[in-house]
Amino acid sequence: MNFEFSEEQLMIQQAARDYAQRELIKDVIERDNHAIFPTQHVKALAELGFMGMMVSPDYDGGGMDAISYVLAVEELSKVDASASVIVSVNNSLVCYGLEKYGNEAQKQKYLRPLASGNKIGAFLLSEPEAGSDATSQRTTAEDKGDYYLVNGTKNWITNANSASTYILIAQTNPSKKHKGITALIVEKDSPGITLGPHEDKMGMRSSDTHSVMFNDVKVPKVNRIGEEGFGFTFAMKVLEGGRIGIASQAVGLASGALERATAYAKERKAFGTVIANHQAIAFKLADMAVKVENARNLCLKAAWLKDQGKPYGIASAMAKVYAADIAMEVTTEAVQIHGGYGYVKEYHVERLMREAKLTQIYEGTSEVQKIIISRDLIK
Amino acid sequence: MKILVLIGNVPDTTTKIKFNADKTMFDATGVQWIINPWDELALTRAMELKETAGSGIETITVANVGHQETEATLRKALAIGADKAIRVDADAKDAFYVASQLALVSQGYDLIFAGVEASDYNGAAVGGMLAELLGIQSVSSVSGLQIDGGLVKITREIEGGSQALSVAAPVMAIVQKGIAKEPRIPAMRGIMMARSKPLEVVQPSETEIRMSFEAFDLPPAKAACKKFTEEQAKELIHALREEAKVL
């Protein structure tokens, strides 16, 4: 066993930390208040290579491992989880899916600009009546010879408006149920695609979330990823990696809140001494630190398994459910330690708490992660 | 034109400073090391110059004096964009020792950048000493630098204003804040390319150690505030006179 990071991994962690602490922090509250998409930051993050950091350099990616990815997403999320979810979706759902399962032509045409960050991608799985139950896809892709005709609605789509490339999961053969589901690459400006209004969310307010409506949208057959019927397996495989990204985001929210709470507790005085000297606060900080450490280790374990080419689906489910739950706990305690100051926006921790809630819901709810883990136990 | 940037390996600026039991040595346990902030700005300026069309800069080399563990700092400089790194394999003991070791590897450059001081020991001596050892011109307090033909155009801060100079290469520019806006964050591509850039290790020369540290002390802790009420004016005067001794 080796718990040491490599020189390169540490350099990437530091690069992400520098960008977050120097740049993202400047306007994070304003973007949250007014739900402004971080266009300039995404451009800068792309130039630094964070938008396709695990993609091979052959396709304009950063060629880094999943451990580096965990470290980078944590650092970005300490400051701005909206920015980190844009990074996470592009990396682990869109780029990973295309690199692993796309054909060479698809990689040349679609993966390259996504990995370099010149374009952004979105992953379209959830539907108004198919969230956790992803098998019940109602969006249809009807075989019309050399193209599919797509109709239906997708919900809660991260990057829906800013993305140029969609990875769409749709039903091509309803009689086969989830075995009739297919994955397609769809260009956002295809005729027949309309977006619902920008969702007015509780947190992650600067990432753009919309529903996407498909009305007789023609998608060339060459844009199908793998065979017909491969879509459900594709989605589940891609989400295994996606969970590492969201779990790391949850770790970042928690560790960011812990850092702020610790700094505050060392400064704020009550009853004649800094509040960190009061056991009630000191023990809270200790509990928070143990949880953050545990969650981070679960993420790193899942990432390590992925880097080794070993199965990581259960490890990433464990990382996600635990990290999301402790992110909620730790950010809530951070607000408590800050007292009244924690409840105002200037001190950041209330935002981290609002954002932490989403990590228990998206890319597989905590309950879905427990289904995955328990089914593996009792199989 | 060839540029050399001297790179100091210093503790992260947020490090909590501790010393060993007899206070003769900095306790480096658990310390994270970074590029000396002024050197990082110097490297940033060197990169900007190289990227300026027509500047005629062929290579940027970075050099330090340190053991193998300081290579992470050099590698970061390579990731930021330096072309080549040189490490003189020795402890950075004192300013003269460091300058003497750097003199081994600093020949043949047209422009050498040194930060005004290292953020750890604040020696502010290596740049000037190295220029002397190399027998070249050095300019201190440099806050702006351009290349114009074969000349180095320098802006330096002086009391109450600034001064513009034109210096023929080779020259040592000892830079301070203002030389570049912000240090660069290495991009993934740079980090990847740093893997294959040359990092040469040079054996140190025999140089006499002329200085030894006798003791370090932390700044005295701030005394606790004393508060006086309106009615305690007399006590306040007494405290100012007898305890603070400012009256």
Residue B208, CB-side half-sphere exposure with 13 Å CA sphere:
1
In three state form, how does the secondary structure of B136-198 look?
CEEEEEEEEEEEECCEEEEEEEECCEEEEEEEECCEEEEECCCCCCCCCCCCHHHHHHHCCCC
- Percent of chain B clearing pLDDT 90 (strictly above): 64
**Highest mean pLDDT of the ranges A141-150, B26-35, B200-209:** A141-150
**Structure tokens belonging to residue B16:** 């909590």
List of domains in chain B = 2-217 (3.40.50.620)
- In the predicted model, what is the mean pLDDT of residues B109-114? 96
Dist CA A65 CA B83 (whole Å): 24
Cα separation, A190 vs A185, in Å, equals: 11
Count residue pairs from A and B with Cβ separation < 8 A: 45
Cβ <8 Å between B192 and A57: yes
Tens-of-pLDDT digits for all 379 residues of chain A? 889 999 999 999 999 999 999 999 999 999 999 999 999 999 999 999 999 999 999 999 999 999 999 999 999 999 999 999 999 999 999 999 999 999 999 999 999 999 999 999 999 999 998 887 878 899 999 999 999 999 999 999 999 999 999 999 999 999 998 999 999 999 999 999 999 999 999 999 999 999 999 999 999 999 999 999 999 999 999 999 999 999 999 999 999 999 999 999 999 999 999 999 999 999 999 999 999 999 999 999 999 999 999 999 999 999 999 999 999 999 999 999 999 999 999 999 999 999 999 999 999 999 999 999 999 999 8
The bridge status of strand A224-225 relative to strand A181-187 is antiparallel
B76 contacts A64? CB cut-off 8 A? no
Give the closest residue to A73 by CA, choosing from A235, A241, A210, A203: A241
pLDDT of amino acid B227: 84
Nearest residue to A167 via CA among A112, A246, A111: A111
A-chain CB neighbours of B192 within 8 Å are: 57, 62-64
Decide if A171 contacts A137 (C-beta within 8 A): yes
Q: Which residues of B touch A11 (CB under 8 A)?
A: 72, 75-76, 79, 186, 191
Residue in A259, A333, A363, A367 annotated catalytic: A363
Q: How far is A327 from chain B (nearest CA, A)?
A: 26
The helix (run of H) or strand (run of E) holding residue B4 is strand B2-6
Residues composing chain A: 379
**Chain B residues inside the 8 Å CB shell of A8:** 191, 195
What pLDDT shows up at residue A278?
97
pLDDT score recorded for residue B210? 85
Output the furthest CA–CA distance in chain B (Å, rounded): 73
CB within 8 Å: B186 and A53: no
Predicted complex ipTM: 0.86
Mutate to test the interface with A, among B33, B188, B225 (most CBs of A within 10 A): B188
Above 80 in pLDDT, residue B11? Answer: yes
What length does chain B have?
A: 247
Give pTM, 2 decimals.
0.91
Whether residue A64 and residue B187 make contact (CB cut-off 8 A), yes or no, is no
Structure tokens at A223: 């844009």
From the list A10, A22, A49, the residue facing B189 with the nearest CB is A49
* Residues of chain B contacting A, Cβ within 8 Å: 71-72, 75-76, 79, 182, 185-189, 191-192, 195
Cα of B56 to nearest chain A Cα, Å: 25
Instruction: Give the gap in angstroms from C-alpha B215 to the nearest C-alpha of chain A.
Output: 29
Annotation says A4 is catalytic: no
